[in-house]
Amino acid sequence: MVLTGAEIVIRCLQEEKVEYVFGYPGGAVLYLYDALFQQEDVRHVLVRHEQAAVHAADGFARSTDKVGVAMVTSGPGATNAVTGIATAYCDSIPLVIISGQVPTAAIGQDAFQEVDTVGITRPCVKHNFLVRDVRDIAATIKKAFYLARTGRPGPVLVDIPKDITIAKCEFEYPKEISLRSYNPVVRGHQGQIKKAVQLLLEAKRPMIYTGGGVVLSDAAEQLTKLTRLLGYPVTNTLMGLGGYPASDRQYLGMPGMHGTYEANMSMHYCDVLLAVGARFDDRVIGNPAHFAEEPRKIIHVDIDPSSISKRVKVDVPIVGDVKDVLDEMIRQLESGAARPNGEHLSAWWKQIEEWRSRDCMAYKNSDEIIKPQFVVQKLWEVTGGNAIVTSDVGQHQMWAAQYYRFDQPRRWLNSGGLGTMGVGMPYAMGAQLAHPDAQVACITGEASIQMNIQELSTCKQFRLPIKICNLNNRYLGMVRQWQQIFHGGRYSESYMDSLPDFAKLAEAYGHVGIRVDRPADVEDAIREAFVKHKNELVFLDFQVDQTENVYPMVQGGKGLTEMILSAEDL
Amino acid sequence: MRHVISLLIENESGALSRVSGLFSARGYNIESLTVAPTEDASMSRMTIVTSGSDDIIEQITKQLNKLVEVVKVVDISEAAHIERELMLIKVRATGKDREEVKRTADIFRARIIDVTDASYVVELTGNQAKLDAFVDALDPALILETVRSGVCGIGRGDRVLKL
Ligand SMILES: Cc1cc2nc3c(=O)[nH]c(=O)nc-3n(C[C@H](O)[C@H](O)[C@H](O)COP(=O)(O)OP(=O)(O)OC[C@H]3O[C@@H](n4cnc5c(N)ncnc54)[C@H](O)[C@@H]3O)c2cc1C
Ligand SMILES: Cc1ncc(C[n+]2csc(CCOP(=O)(O)OP(=O)(O)O)c2C)c(N)n1
Ligand SMILES: [Mg+2]
């Protein structure tokens, strides 16, 4: 069948079973939008800013195991999309971004709305393509989806000049694709896995540390099984929350800068560390030299060899897919007779329980002023721990991670690697479209939410009943916290002045807005949002304690054991 | 430590910028980089001379391997190998210098490939040290222009970098 390039692009998306394209039209993509218009399988979500298009596609991908798709025009459309692309790249999220480009003959002529999109995005994509011939479109899009979802996932951009979308050729979607230069290892090395299992069984003070790789690999079940089989303590990074049920006793909470005392102490003092799909980020291990001071053997499972031995030296590297490797570990354990040494293990647990008894997540609640932690706890209670929770970046993000206990993967969507303010609402949009019946909450701050506030309009158009929980402290709270602790309390530009009345603003967009001032009203307001206004977007504007800080805290450059546990430690 | 990394890469436009972009973005240093198509025109062979600690070299090879268009990567300096570089050097050749330059070129087995009444262009191949030595042997005042290709490398004996 002979089709235009534009028709081919849309046919490819249909072949990939794409349900939603998040995008924004413009000159270079007019033919693509015309082709979209003339079919019904692929639905388009018109956002109000291209950054939000990519974030929403990203949120859709994070909350499912699918590839998110965004479409933008050339020039400013593409540059607006860059923050979204980089955000997905830093957290290894599979996306395909289709960008329009000026006609082939105009490339390099400083044409209207021309930018070197492939050049600009090169350092923040897994791969990108400029299509130069209509006959290459189908194979290129096939490759893009394949690259995005396999190996270490990531965003892939396909830049298509306008003339290519008008040119015609015979359409056939390739069934299989293979690239001689790209063959990610999936199956872990048997011998290495055997060594790892041996080491785990000999451990006196074992610790399991897992991250986003468990979620990306959809291996929460395997992780839970292995952890229970061994009876070892486990911690999930900010990106790995929900990989292991947070309400289980073996779970020690999150590690790192704002992790729990027990998780950090166990990471530091264990003698065998099993790292699974986690990359020893500086926000997790603190100062690498300090971390290296304590002798321990490290087993590291990761699909990307470059994640291994990058920041810490690893004793047993295992390159492979988490699910595959954990399955094999479980198989070897179950088929062998050896079991962990109960005596050592109970001594280790005794130590851990002692650390846990410090109760580092305790905070002083108040009857007068709303504590942000309290709001998150109430949200957890009212939603039965079953909501999909997105967040923006700042203190509220940390409180969300600390106080909403995730028992399942793909329920917690946030920007960990790039730390992009403004992701919260678009992530919620993507998640709500992917799960129309789910409760979706966006925990945000008054500063972050303003970075993509225009999406309230998109939410109205697509009737997305997300619940926005604004922990309004009238500050760039995370910045203020650092200025308080490290810059002598000089609050340079961290005060959020001239804030809008968010409840009224939400109403202006046609939503429900509720302002909450008193702790006693918190629970009722959340209930009202989730029950009475179940099918509406509700903007809950909680006026919270302006000076609350996030604890525990490991300062940048310090070791994991050098924690500030509460304001008294300052 | 100095390392010579050889790689095969798809001969696509933009492939070179992915490699050079990787080095600049991650702060790795490049002493030289040469690239040209192989006998299979769909692939190019690149030789990169770089330096760094073992950890950094390990990351460099891993990061190169991670580039989607890179087919194969080897650190050829880990075993016996040969390195060659080409230099073209234009020197002033008048009066008694004419004979002197010619003699020096002969000693280095260099060839004079362009002659005018005032200058020579000398062609010399060899490893970096030999090229450096030749430059040092010339009176600096005579050197008008030099151009060097950067290092090409290949493993000795059975070691073959092929698809
Ligand atoms: C304000 C702020 C504060 C923060 N504080 C903390 C903190 O206290 N604690 C904390 O943990 N983080 C914190 N972070 C997040 C931190 O910056 C990192 O994003 C995060 O720690 C990285 O998580 P990860 O190690 O799980 O890696 P990810 O970025 O999730 O990477 C996943 C790893 O798994 C691998 N992988 C992917 N798929 C597979 C597969 N199928 N099989 C095998 N391997 C796979 C990848 O190659 C990669 O190495 C904070 C961020 C912000 C913005
Ligand atoms: C786009 C972007 N700009 C700047 C920052 C730096 N930054 C990190 S947290 C933060 C403050 C966020 O304020 P708010 O959304 O109100 O959250 P709070 O910390 O008060 O809970 C800032 C400015 C960032 N992460 N992202
Ligand atoms: Mg704030």
Query: What number is the average pLDDT over the span A138-156?
Result: 98
Q: Which residue of A has its CA nearest to B10?
A: A181
> A-B interface: how many C-beta pairs under 8 angstroms?
36
- Is A338 touching B (CB cutoff 8 A)? no
**Is the predicted pLDDT of residue A569 greater than 90, yes or no?**
no
Query: What number is the average pLDDT over the span B140-146?
Result: 97
Q: What is the CATH number of domain A190-356?
A: 3.40.50.1220
Residues 6+ apart with CB under 8 A from B62: A305, A306
How many angstroms separate the CA atoms of A8 and B45, rounded? 34
Segments of chain A assigned to CATH 3.40.50.1220? 190-356
Which CATH fold would you assign to the domain B2-78?
Alpha-Beta Plaits (3.30.70)
Residues 6+ apart with CB under 8 A from A192: A316, A317, A318
Query: What number is the average pLDDT over the span A205-222?
Result: 98
Residue B10: predicted pLDDT: 97
Å from A180 to nearest chain B CA?
7
| Residues of A in Cβ contact (< 8 Å) with B21 | 122-123
Segments of chain B assigned to CATH 3.30.70.260? 2-78
CA-CA-CA-CA torsion sign (A71, A77, A83, A89): positive
Q: Is the CB of A392 under 6 A from ligand 2?
A: yes
Segments of chain B assigned to CATH 3.30.70.1150? 82-152
Mark yes or no for CB contact A181/B68 under 8 Å. Answer: yes
Query: What number is the average pLDDT over the span B86-113?
Result: 97
When the pLDDT of each residue in chain B is averaged and rounded to a whole number, the result is 97
Q: How confident is the model at residue A104 (pLDDT cuts 50, 70, 90)?
A: very high
Whether the Cβ atoms of residue B37 and residue B12 lie closer than 8 Å to each other: no
Tell me the C-alpha to C-alpha distance, in Å, between residue A496 and each of A24, A105, A488: 30, 48, 19
Q: Is the CB of A395 under 6 A from ligand 2?
A: yes
Mark yes or no for CB contact B68/A126 under 8 Å. Answer: yes
Q: Is the CB of A452 under 6 A from ligand 2?
A: no
Which amino acids of A are annotated catalytic?
50, 112-113, 162, 478
How many angstroms separate the CA atoms of A237 and A267, rounded? 12
How many angstroms separate the CA atoms of A133 and B154, rounded? 36
Residue B163: predicted pLDDT: 86
**Is the predicted pLDDT of residue A556 greater than 90, yes or no?**
no
**Is the predicted pLDDT of residue A570 greater than 90, yes or no?**
no
| Residues of A in Cβ contact (< 8 Å) with B65 | 305-306
**Is the predicted pLDDT of residue A394 greater than 90, yes or no?**
yes
HSE-CB for A28 with a 13 A CA cutoff:
26
Query: What number is the average pLDDT over the span A58-84?
Result: 98
Query: What number is the average pLDDT over the span A116-137?
Result: 98
Which CATH fold would you assign to the domain B82-152?
Alpha-Beta Plaits (3.30.70)
Mark yes or no for CB contact A305/B55 under 8 Å. Answer: no
Whether the Cβ atoms of residue A549 and residue A256 lie closer than 8 Å to each other: no
| Residues of B in Cβ contact (< 8 Å) with A130 | 13-14
Which amino acid belongs to residue A129? F
Domain A372-550, second-level architecture: 3-Layer(aba) Sandwich (3.40)
Task: Give the global pTM.
Answer: 0.98
Segments of chain A assigned to CATH 3.40.50.970? 2-170, 372-550
Q: How confident is the model at residue A386 (pLDDT cuts 50, 70, 90)?
A: very high
pLDDT digits (tens, 9 = 90+) for A438-456: 999 999 999 999 999 999 9
**Is the predicted pLDDT of residue B65 greater than 90, yes or no?**
yes
Query: What number is the average pLDDT over the span A147-157?
Result: 98
Q: Which residue of A has its CA nearest to B70?
A: A181
Residue A185: predicted pLDDT: 94
- Is A182 touching B (CB cutoff 8 A)? yes
Query: What number is the average pLDDT over the span A281-301?
Result: 95
When the pLDDT of each residue in chain A is averaged and rounded to a whole number, the result is 97
pLDDT digits (tens, 9 = 90+) for A236-283: 999 999 999 999 999 999 999 999 999 999 999 999 999 999 999 999
Query: What number is the average pLDDT over the span A43-63?
Result: 98
Query: What number is the average pLDDT over the span A57-67?
Result: 98
Q: How confident is the model at residue A560 (pLDDT cuts 50, 70, 90)?
A: very high
Burial of residue A402 (number of CB atoms within 10 Å: 0-12, 13-18, 19+): buried
Indicate which of A101, A149, A181 best probes the interface with B, i.e. most B CBs within 10 Å of its own CB.
A181
Which CATH fold would you assign to the domain A2-170?
Rossmann fold (3.40.50)
β-bridge pairing A388-391 and A316-319: unpaired
Q: Is the CB of A420 under 6 A from ligand 2?
A: yes
Residue A568: predicted pLDDT: 86
ipTM summary value: 0.94
How many angstroms separate the CA atoms of A514 and A501, rounded? 10
In the reported structure, the alpha carbon of residue A396 is separated from the centroid of ligand 3 by a whole-number distance in angstroms of 8
Mark yes or no for CB contact B65/A305 under 8 Å. Answer: yes
Query: Which residue's alpha carbon is at the smallest distance from atom 50 of ligand 1?
Result: A416
Query: What number is the average pLDDT over the span A490-504?
Result: 96
